[in-house]
Structure 1
């Protein structure tokens, strides 16, 4: 029986390793002062098969602007506020400055899905994270064309 490979070398992105059922790039994205791993699932499950959209999504994740956290804070804060109102939790503080929402978030990884399976026609990746206000579901921030356009609980994006 052939053993599945646990590493793959991509001409553009370098070494990738199989970790927790995802291929993880050696190079990390930088969000503020934090380094975040980038994970991909190859198109059709074929090792090494990255679509042009996936490649562009990876490039965009690697090229996030230094102020990406400030730019996306209001989107994440909106999710925080909706959740706060929904559960009526007085222990969740009102945040004076949207950037403070990131103090409640621990980044897990950036995920680049197979675009074919998801019927995506623009480069898309998701920032998956743990968040203090919903430890059960966590947080997913979706980026399309390198810009955050949705923040929701993991698995709930696109309602």
Structure 2
């Protein structure tokens, strides 16, 4: 029986290793002071098959600006506020400064989906995280063309 490869070397992004059923780049994205792994699903499940949009999404994830958390905070805070209003939880404090939202978030990884399978026409990646206000479903922040445009519970963000 032939064992599938556990690592792959990409000429642009370097080594990738299979971890938890995802191909994970050895190099990480940097969000604020945190290093976040980048996980990729190859197009059509073929090892080494990255579409041009996936490549662009990975480049964008690796080149996030130093103030990405400040820029993205209002979108995540909006998710927090909607959730807070929906469940009427007085235990969830109003946050005076949007940047405080990141104190309640633990980054898991950045996910680069197969663009062809999802019929995505814009370079897209998703920041997957755990969040204090919805521990069961976590948080997914979608970036399109390197800019966060949606935050919702994991699996709920529209494609």
Q: Give TM class, smaller chain.
A: over 0.9
> Residue in 1 aligned with 2:125?
125
TM-score normalised to the size of structure 1? 0.99
> Residue in 2 aligned with 1:45?
45
1:35 alignment partner, SS class: strand
> Residue in 2 aligned with 1:75?
75
1:120 alignment partner, SS class: coil
1:76 alignment partner, SS class: helix
2:109 is aligned with 1:112: no
> Residue in 1 aligned with 2:90?
90
> Residue in 2 aligned with 1:11?
11
> Residue in 2 aligned with 1:137?
137
1:14-72 deviations in Å (ceiling 9; x for gaps) = 00000000000000000000000000000000000000000000000000000000000
> Residue in 1 aligned with 2:101?
101
**Two-structure CA RMSD over aligned residues (Å):** 0.7
Residue 158 of structure 1, CA deviation = 1.2
Aligned partners of 1:59, 1:93: CA distance in 2, in Å?
Answer: 36
Aligned partners of 1:117, 1:149: CA distance in 2, in Å?
Answer: 21
Unaligned runs of 5+ in 1: none
> Residue in 2 aligned with 1:152?
152
